[in-house]
A = this chain, B = another copy of it.
Amino acid sequence: MTEWRQYSELQLDPVLRAALEAFVDTGYHGATVRDIARRAGLSVPGIYHHYATKQDMLLGILDITMDDLLARSRAAKEEGAGDPVRSFALLVECLVLFHCYRRDAAFIGSSEMRSLEPANRTRIAALRTAQQRLIDAEVDEAARSGRFQVAYPHDAARAAATMCIAVPSWYRIGHESTPEQVAERYVDFALGLMHYAGPRPV
């Protein structure tokens, strides 16, 4: 994954695609297997031929989504290797692009964590923690070298991440701004939040 800015349609089989639509509309508990089947153009047993339980559908969506995000984030971070301010800016850009282009999946990823059974939640939560640590590491280093003037680096990193994660709550494709425009603005917001005073690194 070197082209982390490049997005084509998310690769989901028809069942997961239908499940994702249903979960976005009514939430995991509110979505019925009959509704998912109708959206997929299948019967209810047709759905169960592919996935053993509704829980497995949620888990499948979240696994694919988090793998995609982590791969892109690692590539973005790599692009700025050696310069923590630049790496941080690229991570924010990546996070916003992802939450615009993968809006539905990203939205489910943050809103339906609690609908996972404990063992599944533990696994997915670990992926989300890994994602946050990528950001924390760059902020820590930029703060240590004095380029970010921030007294509580982890709090600041979390604040920056959460404002990106909230993007799907208001953005959708077709919005007056493109994902690239939103990402550019959010990089600027995030650097400001860190009280970064130098030149914009992206």
Using a CB–CB distance below 8 Å, which chain A residues touch chain B? 26-30, 110-111, 114-115, 151-152, 155-156, 158-160, 162-163, 165-166, 169-170, 177, 182, 185-186, 189-190, 192-195
Report yes or no: B170 in contact with A163, Cβ–Cβ below 8 A.
no
Instruction: Decide: B158 and A170 in contact? CB cutoff 8 A.
Output: yes
**B residues near A26, Cβ cutoff 8 Å:** 29, 114
Copies of this chain, how many? 2
> Are A114 and B162 interface neighbours, CB within 8 A?
no
Give 16 A-B contacts (CB < 8 Å), ordered by A residue: A27-B27, A27-B28, A27-B29, A27-B114, A29-B29, A30-B115, A156-B185, A158-B170, A159-B163, A159-B189, A160-B163, A162-B163, A162-B170, A166-B166, A192-B194, A192-B195
Alpha-carbon distance between A186 and B158 when the two chains are bound, in angstroms: 11
A162 to B27, CA, bound (A): 21
Chain B nearest CB, measured from A63 CB (Å): 21
Please, which residues of chain B bring their CB within 8 A of the CB of A177? 155
**Minimum CB–CB distance for A5 against chain B, Å:** 20
Instruction: Give the residue of B110, B151, B156, B186 whose beta carbon is less than 8 angstroms from that of A159.
Output: B186
List of B residues within 8 angstroms of A30 by Cβ:
28-29, 115
Chain B residues contacting A192 (CB-CB under 8 Å) are: 192-195
Assess the B29–A152 pair: CB atoms within 8 A. no
Rounded to whole Å, the gap between the CB of A25 and the closest CB of chain B is 8
| Most B CB within 10 A of own CB, among A30, A156, A193 | A193
Contacts of A158 in B (CB 8 A): 170
Set of chain B residues within 8 Å of A170, measured between Cβ atoms: 158, 162
CA distance A28 to B115 in the complex (A): 12
**A156 — nearest CB in chain B belongs to which residue?**
B189
